[in-house]
Amino acid sequence: MNFILSSPLTTKSLQLSVCANYQLRPRSLSISFLRYSLQHCTMQLPYRSKEEYKKHFIAHSKRNVVPICEVLCPLLADRSGKLFEFGSGVGVHVMQLASNLPHWQFQPSDMEPEFVAEIAENVQEFKNIDAPIHWDVRCTHLDSEKSNYDIALCVNLLHVTGWDTAVGLFRSASWVLHNQGILFIYGPFKENGGYNTESNRSFDESLQKKNPQFGLKDIVDLKKAALENKLHFDRKIDMPANNYILQFHKQVESASGCEII
């Protein structure tokens, strides 16, 4: 399968103010549910500065974007739908997917206002990418107005954040997805306390030295946290460089035990 490579990321200075950005209204999502509890919403950086952080994750995403697309695009290519991405960074994955899946509509988001502004600048030309929104998976207060995305995606977030982010991710994903919607999480993980390679063990140790809350999350723990949010583990897909894509689907049951369609 051939993939279109999105144009190189711009490094133009930010032109949108943060306030202007908060007011951007995505086409497919009501903004009314977004209420922020700012008291806990501080960014924990795995690097000394945001610039350094951004440089590192963009370098990684340029390497993993094609393999991720190679897995997701064939699964989604024969239908249309809506995909919500958490922790989009500067939008590398959402742009690549949007280029290859023109019948899909994409909603990028991030907790960091500077990155939200940068995504907005980067995705201007894409008709199938909605205006990015500010969304902290830990802090967003979700009201009863449900969303109905087909797919939720999160790339390289959980190893550079604490456990509260993993819990928040499942809660947020369960909220944006409709019943039977699918969540994909890409990244390095451990399983039953074990590592798939020695390099991932060292990587985990180096992350925890930076911040004891950081580090590879255990798939066993993730499955439990997912289930608490009606997300059932489906499979683990091997990816290059000792990473995985974890796939979950949302299944809501009625009081009678029957699946709600």
Ligand X SMILES: C[S@@+](CC[C@H](N)C(=O)[O-])C[C@H]1O[C@@H](n2cnc3c(N)ncnc32)[C@H](O)[C@@H]1O
Q: Enumerate binding residues for ligand X (CB under 6 A).
A: 57, 61, 86-89, 92, 110-112, 115, 135-138, 155-157, 160-161, 165, 168
Nearer to ligand X, 130 or 136 (CB): 136
Nearer to ligand X, 73 or 251 (CB): 73
Task: Judge contact between 207 and 195, C-beta under 8 A.
Answer: no
Q: Which of 99, 93, 112 is nearest to 54 (CA)?
A: 112
Q: How far is the CB of 191 from ligand X (least distance, A)?
A: 21
Q: How far is the CB of 219 from ligand X (least distance, A)?
A: 19
H or E element that contains 226: helix 219-227
149: Cα separation from own chain's centroid: 13
Structure tokens at 260: 């709600």
Q: How far is the CB of 54 from ligand X (least distance, A)?
A: 8
Nearer to ligand X, 99 or 156 (CB): 156
Strands 189-190 and 177-187: unpaired
Q: How far is the CB of 185 from ligand X (least distance, A)?
A: 11
Q: Where are the beta strands (DSSP E) in 8-90?
A: 35-36, 81-86
Structure tokens at 227: 């289930």
Residue nearest to ligand X (CB): 89
Nearer to ligand X, 39 or 254 (CB): 39
